[in-house]
């Protein structure tokens, strides 16, 4: 999920603690701040620190002036083969192609385990907002293919789009069955997204008070659970385990609707917890009525409208037709 969702989730955890509500009523919001920080901490560690220290064995740098997808496909296929032959992990970084201050050349990569090959194709120039620019498709739309012989297992999706900012990384590692496992973004959701690390941080916070430790652990654990709804999963019990537990594949981290729904629900829960702590509120209503009025009914109407709009949008002609053959 997005950072704002993890942030508000941490605040929500604090709102369920009576001592946090009481402290806030007395002018001390420290428990809420602690929950917000703990909710953001796993991703902050990964994206702001750890990824810059992660070592890659191979770095693929496409030439923006000579768009040749074959070296990209060859590098990935070679990484699979090397990992299978040597038994040592091979880490590969695919760099993005910056065309100007706000434009990037997009390309797609597909690691097809069934066909035993890597396919790569260049696409349009996109803005930083990932909007394709008209008439920006390259003249050469050929699909590069590179074969590998080792069986491959993927915990993430087989297709990857490389366009803006920092490119993706992969780790290819042979398992005990002889298959090569493909780890997408191997630096992400590894040790930082661990319940044991959350317990360690909670123990440190408990030197102040056990109440702070409870807030930290709850916010940290909720972050890990939320991320488990996606595809990548997390390494729950580092250092006792080395691999990420595959996600439930219910959503992608960037999906707008689940993120919005999660943030809205958290806001409602915070409101309710604060309301419930008021001794004699001006207005009285039940939790069921509150959730039905503020969450269930509006989202049911929104879902219906969204479905109708999607159907209408499918009947409109596309402004830019992009034929991805990868």
Would you state the pLDDT for residue 6?
97
Confidence of residue 308 (pLDDT cuts 50, 70, 90): confident
Cα–Cα distance for residue pair 193/191, rounded to 1 Å: 5
Cα–Cα distance for residue pair 256/52, rounded to 1 Å: 28
Confidence of residue 324 (pLDDT cuts 50, 70, 90): very low
Percent of all residues in the chain with a pLDDT value above 90, rounded to a whole number = 82
Cα–Cα distance for residue pair 154/148, rounded to 1 Å: 15
**Average pLDDT, rounded, for the chain:** 92
The mean pLDDT value for 61-68 works out to 92
Could you tell me which residues are beta bridge partners of residue 173?
Answer: 181
Name the least confident of 23-32, 134-143, 216-225.
134-143
Cα–Cα distance for residue pair 276/18, rounded to 1 Å: 10
Q: What is the pTM of this model?
A: 0.89
Would you state the pLDDT for residue 149?
86
Better-predicted residue by pLDDT, 140 or 71: 71
Question: Is residue 132 within 8 Å of residue 115, measured between CB atoms?
Answer: no
In the structure encoding, which two tokens stand for residue 13, read together?
Answer: 């955890």
How confident is the model over 241-293, as pLDDT tens digits? 989 999 999 998 888 889 999 999 999 999 999 999 998 888 899 999 999 99
Sign of CA dihedral 74, 182, 247, 226: negative
Confidence of residue 315 (pLDDT cuts 50, 70, 90): low
Name the nearest CA neighbour of 194 among 245, 225, 243, 235: 235
Cα 190 to the center of its chain, rounded Å:
13
How confident is the model over 139-195, as pLDDT tens digits? 878 999 999 989 999 988 899 999 999 999 999 999 999 999 999 999 999 999 999
In the structure encoding, which two tokens stand for residue 52, read together?
Answer: 């810059």
Q: Domain-by-domain residue ranges, the chain?
A: 3-51+192-278+287-310, 58-184
Please report how the helices 210-228 and 195-205 are oriented relative to each other, as an axis angle in degrees rounded to 10. Answer: 160
């Amino acid at each position: 999920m997005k950072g704002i969702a993890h942030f508000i989730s941490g605040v929500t955890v604090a709102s369920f603690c009576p001592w946090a509500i009481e402290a806030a009523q007395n002018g001390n919001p420290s428990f809420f701040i602690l929950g917000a920080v703990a909710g953001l901490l796993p991703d902050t560690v990964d994206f702001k620190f750890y990824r810059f220290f992660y070592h890659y064995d191979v770095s693929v740098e496409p030439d923006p002036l000579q768009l040749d997808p074959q070296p990209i496909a060859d590098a990935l296929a070679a990484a699979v083969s090397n990992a299978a032959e040597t038994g040592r992990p091979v880490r590969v970084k695919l760099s993005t192609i910056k065309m100007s201050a706000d434009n990037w050349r997009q390309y797609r990569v597909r690691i097809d385990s069934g066909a035993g090959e890597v396919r790569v194709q260049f696409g349009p120039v996109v803005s930083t907002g990932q909007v394709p620019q008209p008439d920006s498709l390259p003249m050469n739309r050929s699909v590069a293919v590179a074969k590998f012989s080792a069986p491959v297992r993927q915990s993430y999706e087989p297709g990857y789009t490389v366009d803006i900012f920092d490119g993706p990384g992969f780790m290819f590692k042979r398992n005990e069955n002889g298959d090569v496992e493909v780890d997408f973004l191997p630096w992400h959701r590894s040790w930082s997204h661990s319940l044991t690390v959350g317990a360690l941080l909670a123990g440190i916070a408990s030197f102040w008070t056990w109440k702070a430790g409870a807030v930290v652990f709850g916010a940290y654990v909720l972050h890990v659970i939320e991320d488990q709804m996606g595809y990548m999963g997390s390494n729950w019990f580092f250092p006792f385990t080395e691999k990420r537990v595959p996600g439930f594949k219910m959503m992608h981290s960037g999906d707008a609707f689940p993120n919005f729904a999660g943030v809205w629900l958290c806001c409602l829960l915070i409101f309710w917890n604060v309301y419930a702590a008021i001794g004699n509120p001006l207005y009285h209503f039940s939790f069921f009525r509150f959730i039905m009025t503020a969450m269930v009914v509006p989202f049911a109407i929104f879902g219906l409208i969204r479905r109708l709009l999607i159907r209408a949008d499918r009947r409109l002609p596309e402004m830019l037709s992009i034929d991805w053959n990868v």
